[in-house]
Amino acid sequence: MDVVQIIVNGVLLGGVLALSALGFNIIFGVMRVVNLAHGDVLVLAALVCSVAFARWHVNPLLLLPLNIILGFAIGALIQRFLLRRLPAEIASGEASSLTLTFGLSYFLMGAGLWLFGGEFKSVPYLTSALQFGPISIPQSRLLAFAAAVVLATLLGIFLRYTRMGRAIRATSMHLDGALACGVNVDTVRAFSFGLGSAVAAASGTLLSYVYTFNPQGGTAFTISAFAVIAIGGLGSYAGTLLGALILGIAQSFTSYYAGSTLADAAPYVLFILVLLVLPQGLLGRRAT
């Protein structure tokens, strides 16, 4: 039964990691920007929840709309006033965006240290577990997983059935084709970066139930998000969900059998293995 328990824990974790990776995938798919500040937005949202819970006992779910709005505003402003000014040439633009978001990551980390201090914070809410025979399901993880599934479903509906969602998908698939169809690419890029950051903030809100956080932990979540889309495949919604489940289960098994320190290495190992065997990811589009 230990194996079943480990898989359950991994699936619950993977569901929330999938939400973070979906936001990362939107930004990278539309703009070809590896947003190294993605995890820092996530961590700041989690720290807001931790402080609000410690001071006023506010359930993080009640802060979810606020964090989503703030995350969207931060992302849209970053794209509008910083990323938009980068060189238009693809190679130069990608290198510049990598450097810029690297600097943003350290800026947000410093801002977090100034606002929240360097100590670890958590949200000790719903600390008991549900028992189903020998299987124990922490209530906090179950709540975070359920909320992540709802948000991921809503995001999928938005991307498939709304005009802006279709414009985002079109820009991600073929920039010139989107321009030819009259898509305002500048607007789509600003909205996409804002949406990706909003999803990161939502994921941080939910992960506040699961992890302890300090402002210096953003890099690990950025790497996890990048590993998920590398495993599942760039541009694949289903691939992102699959990649997150694989990563969550792998981290759960590694943590149980080898300790939490080695579990942190799971994203790196999986990322390398997938790149060696399937460079396009499990469900990614093959290069032609």
Residues 126-180 have pLDDT tens digits of 888 998 888 899 999 999 999 999 999 999 999 999 999 999 999 988 888 888 8
Give the type of residue at 18. A
Residue 283 within a domain: no
Q: Is the pLDDT of residue 286 over 60?
A: no
Tokens 């001071």 correspond to 55
Read off the pLDDT of each residue in 262-272 and give the average, rounded to a whole number: 81
Q: Looking at residue 87, what is its pLDDT?
A: 66
Tell me whether residue 285 is in a domain: no
The pLDDT assigned to 175 comes to 83
Nearest-Å Rg of the Cα atoms of the chain is: 18
Is residue 288 included in any domain, yes or no? no
CATH number for the domain including 138? Answer: 1.10.3470
Predicted local confidence at residue 62, as pLDDT: 95
Computed over every residue of the chain, the mean pLDDT equals 89
pLDDT over 90 percentage in the chain: 58
- How far, in Å, CA of 242 to CA of 199, rounded? 18
Whether 284 is in a domain gets the answer no
Give the integer Cα–Cα distance in Å for 136 and 129. Answer: 6
- Report which secondary-structure segment, H or E, holds 189: helix 185-207
> For residue 93, is pLDDT > 80?
no
120-129, 139-148, 261-270 — most confident range: 139-148
- pLDDT at residue 269, as a whole number: 84
Into how many domains does the chain fold?
1
pLDDT tier at 94, thresholds 50, 70, 90: low
Q: Is residue 55 situated within a structural domain?
A: yes
Alpha-carbon span 34 to 104, nearest angstrom = 12
CB 123 within 8 A of CB 60: yes
| Residue 112 binned pLDDT confidence (cut-offs 50, 70, 90) | very high
126 close to 140: Cβ distance less than 8 angstroms? yes
pLDDT of residue 288: 43
For residue 182, is it left (φ>0), alpha (ψ between -120 and 50) or beta?
A: left
For 64-79, what is the mean pLDDT? 95
Range of 61's domain? 2-277
pLDDT at 75: 95
Q: 285 falls in which pLDDT band (50, 70, 90)? A: low
Q: Is residue 287 part of a domain?
A: no
Specify if 286 maps to a domain.
no
Residue 98: inside a domain = yes
Average of pLDDT values for 259-283? 80
Q: Report CA-CA distances (Å) from 139 to 11, 12, 134.
A: 14, 11, 15
**pLDDT number for residue 255:** 87
pTM: predicted TM-score of the whole model, two decimal places: 0.93
pLDDT (tens digit per residue) in 173-224: 888 888 888 889 889 999 999 999 999 999 999 999 999 999 999 999 998 9
Least confident interval from 30-34, 166-170, 237-241 = 30-34
